[in-house]
A and B are shown apart, each in its own frame.
Chain A
Amino acid sequence: MQHDDVLWDVIGNRQFCSYKVTTKTQNFCRNEYNITGLCNRSSCPLANSQYATIKEEKGQCFLYMKTIERAAFPSRMWERVKLSKNYEKALEQIDEHLIYWPRFIRHKCKQRFTKITQYLIRIRKLTLKRQRKLVPLSKKVERRESRREEKALIAAQLDNAIEKELLERLKQGTYEDIYNFPTHAFDKALQQQDEESETDSSEEEDEDVGQVEFVEDDEIDDSELSDFEAMDKLEDSGEEQEKSSDAEELEKETSTSKGKTPVKGLVRKKRPFVEIEYEQETEPSAKASST
């Protein structure tokens, strides 16, 4: 006689069952033959000597049955029936095999079978659609590539490269006079100007020789020299302003005349200064030695 109740008392309530999974609200049963997946007195395949399940293998559904007569022969305990692919026919098969079986098991078997067919249909539909292929990324490789990309970006010097390329194209004339600085003409103009200025300067030098010119005196007046430093400063500042403006004018003049004597720095009007000559007296050594 099978002692289902004792078994259930032991494994379900008191002691350990290795298939039981406890959660906060419910207990699940991990046994592969369990029909509902929950850990119940009526769903436990160990605690029921008459039991049936539906299991699916590679798209094929099977009805598994266990009876008390075969309880002593574990290798022959589960009887397997292949169910038809047609849904209604399969239900009839279940009914036929589980005739006179408890209502609960029949009902749950049919429910399970329905669920299984539904998910098989979904699998078939999904495989026809496009699937997202997930490609695993290796963190090391990703990091390496991003590092190399940064270094390549620095080495590329993109702005310089683009500018260089554009200037090249300008030089080669791909823009065809859209822009107003065609380089050939400019260079030629520069060269011409250089030549002209050289010839001009040489001519002017020839001209200037021997000619008498009357030039303005320097702005320094003796009256402006004074002992008072403050007066000096005041007048100096005024003079400096004048001088700076004069210097600017001079600069402009000198800059425009290329080819004349090169002007280095600012040309300053001479400031008030006094030249002092020093004479060095060398004492005759004889005198020194005597005294």
Chain B
Amino acid sequence: MRSLAGRWRRPPPGSGSGGVGLRPPGSGCGGGSAELSERSRGRLGVRKMVAEGKSRKRREPGGGAEGEPQPQPEPAAQPEVAFPPGFSVSEIKNKQRRQFMFQRWKRARRQEQLAARKKRRKEREALGDKAPPKPVPKTIENQRVYDETTVDPQDEEVAFDEATDEFSSYFNRESSPKILITTSDRPRGRTVRLCEQLAKVVPNAHVYYRKGLALKKIIPQCVARDFTDLLVINEDRKVPNGLIISHLPNGPTAHFKMSSVRLAKELKRKGTKGTKPTEHIPEVILNNFSTRLGHSIGRMFASLFPYDPQFIGRQVATFHNQRDYIFFRFHRYIFRNEKKVGLQELGPRFTLKLRSLQKGTFDSKYGEYEWVHKRHEMDTNRRKFHL
């Protein structure tokens, strides 16, 4: 038991400046005095509380100097401690003491919260039917900053724009998609397999190897051969990490960052019977594309797939946007009854994040960018999303 412990008691009446004044600074305790004075300085705030008549148990750091003789013994611990306003645990300089105080504070807070919760529950039960409805918990989607470009379904301007943009020919059923899938230079195994699987997922898709050609030279050739879309999978260190979708006649080019790529083999599935996608045209599900930008991206994805899905095939490709991350999944579904669906995942899965949308076909230097992800402006607010 350290004799210093008694310092934390209420100072005896008549000692004006408190315990600090009692002992001459720098003397007496020898080695421990410096440590003591620090502690006393750090605890001046705490000292005030002591003066207010609250006592607390102090954990002994062990060993130490023999201090000046303190008359009163240490008091017992009291479980309920109220902290006066304006005091913050972080102001205590001593780490051990600070940690101890923090645990105390946390415990007290926890108890307060439990008590409050019990009280609320009792009130709710007491009211019975007349109780007010439960408050809805806050989620990031709830708290999302309202984006002024959110599309209103009845908006005529948007409808007009969509009727005349580059995808209108697809949505008017004038053209049917023909996709060219390629990669960056010298693709490695994973990328090659991803390309093959994508070619199975997307109907009417052809895979060609890059062989070091420039995209700007490929594009006129594609246009000449009636391709409607160009998909380039960029690779870095044997792993696909980027995707460029370029709508061909003169359509926009979107550049995505691709992550979490899982090939069809790596998905967890039972058995091997029905695990390959068939040749049927899949349906498309586009979820949560709410802003103008989101709409244009959504239309771009939709225009990759032919307009008439074959429901017999029971295959569905999903592009789900959540907080600016677009999740791609490819499933086969079966209706067990009118309230239950079973899903079996075929095909690859990956996550896309839009980096830039450029008007016109691929031209990174001189192209006109409709939207570019600027990290310092757009990543600052956690509740603001753009798609």
A residues adjacent to B (C-beta < 8 A) = 129-130, 132, 141, 145-146, 148-149, 151-153, 155-156, 158-159, 161-163, 165-167, 170-171, 174-176, 178-179, 181-183, 186
Q: How far is the CB of B244 from chain A (nearest CB, A)?
A: 14
Identify the closest chain A residue to B335 (Cβ).
A179
Contact A153 B327, beta carbon cutoff 8 Å: yes
Main secondary structure of the interface of B (DSSP, over half): strand
Contact A161 B259, beta carbon cutoff 8 Å: no
Neighbouring A residues of B329 by C-beta, 8 Å? 158, 162
Write 27 A-B pairs (CB below 8 A) sorted by A numbering: A130-B212, A130-B214, A148-B325, A149-B353, A152-B322, A152-B324, A152-B325, A155-B140, A156-B320, A158-B329, A161-B287, A161-B318, A161-B320, A162-B329, A162-B341, A162-B343, A163-B333, A163-B340, A163-B341, A166-B316, A167-B338, A171-B338, A175-B311, A181-B335, A181-B337, A183-B338, A186-B338
Q: Would you call B88 an interface residue if the criterion is a C-beta within 8 Å of the partner chain's C-beta atoms?
A: no
Identify the closest chain A residue to B139 (Cβ).
A155
Neighbouring B residues of A145 by C-beta, 8 Å? 257, 259, 353
Q: Would you call B285 an interface residue if the criterion is a C-beta within 8 Å of the partner chain's C-beta atoms?
A: yes
In the bound complex, CA of A170 to CA of B335 (Å) = 9
Neighbouring B residues of A152 by C-beta, 8 Å? 322-325, 327
Q: How far is the CB of A258 from chain B (nearest CB, A)?
A: 19
Contact B260 A149, beta carbon cutoff 8 Å: yes
Q: Would you call B279 an interface residue if the criterion is a C-beta within 8 Å of the partner chain's C-beta atoms?
A: no
Contact A148 B323, beta carbon cutoff 8 Å: yes
| Mask: chain B, 333-375; 1 = CB below 8 Å from A; 0 = not | 1010111110100000001010000000000000000000001
Neighbouring B residues of A174 by C-beta, 8 Å? 311
Neighbouring B residues of A163 by C-beta, 8 Å? 333, 340-341, 343
Chain B interface size range: 20 to 34
Neighbouring B residues of A158 by C-beta, 8 Å? 318, 320, 327, 329
| Mask: chain B, 174-214; 1 = CB below 8 Å from A; 0 = not | 00000000000100000000000000000000000000101
Contact B318 A149, beta carbon cutoff 8 Å: no
Neighbouring A residues of B139 by C-beta, 8 Å? 155
B residues adjacent to A (C-beta < 8 A) = 139-141, 185, 212, 214, 257, 259-260, 285, 287, 311-312, 316, 318, 320, 322-325, 327, 329, 331, 333, 335, 337-341, 343, 351, 353, 375
Which residue of the partner chain, among A141, A148, A159, contacts B375 with CB atoms under 8 Å?
A141
In the bound complex, CA of A132 to CA of B141 (Å) = 39
Q: Known contacts A141-B375, A158-B318, A161-B320: does B285 contact A181 (CB below 8 Å)? A: no
Q: How far is the CB of B137 from chain A (nearest CB, A)?
A: 13
Which residue of the partner chain, among A141, A151, A170, A176, contacts B338 with CB atoms under 8 Å?
A170
In the bound complex, CA of A130 to CA of B214 (Å) = 7
Q: How far is the CB of B54 from chain A (nearest CB, A)?
A: 42
In the bound complex, CA of A155 to CA of B327 (Å) = 12
Contact B322 A165, beta carbon cutoff 8 Å: no
Neighbouring A residues of B311 by C-beta, 8 Å? 174-176, 178
In the bound complex, CA of A175 to CA of B338 (Å) = 12
Identify the closest chain B residue to A165 (Cβ).
B285
Identify the closest chain B residue to A135 (Cβ).
B236
Which residue of the partner chain, among A156, A166, A175, A178, contacts B322 with CB atoms under 8 Å?
A156
Neighbouring B residues of A161 by C-beta, 8 Å? 287, 318, 320
Q: How far is the CB of A175 from chain B (nearest CB, A)?
A: 5
Q: Known contacts A155-B139, A156-B327: does B316 contact A162 (CB below 8 Å)? A: yes
In the bound complex, CA of A183 to CA of B338 (Å) = 7
Q: How far is the CB of B185 from chain A (nearest CB, A)?
A: 8
Q: How far is the CB of A74 from chain B (nearest CB, A)?
A: 47
Q: How far is the CB of A188 from chain B (nearest CB, A)?
A: 13
In the bound complex, CA of A176 to CA of B311 (Å) = 10
Contact B316 A155, beta carbon cutoff 8 Å: no
Identify the closest chain A residue to B382 (Cβ).
A148
Contact A149 B285, beta carbon cutoff 8 Å: no
Neighbouring B residues of A146 by C-beta, 8 Å? 259
Neighbouring B residues of A166 by C-beta, 8 Å? 285, 316, 333, 335, 341
Q: How far is the CB of B227 from chain A (nearest CB, A)?
A: 21
Q: Known contacts A148-B325, A149-B351, A167-B339: does B259 contact A162 (CB below 8 Å)? A: no
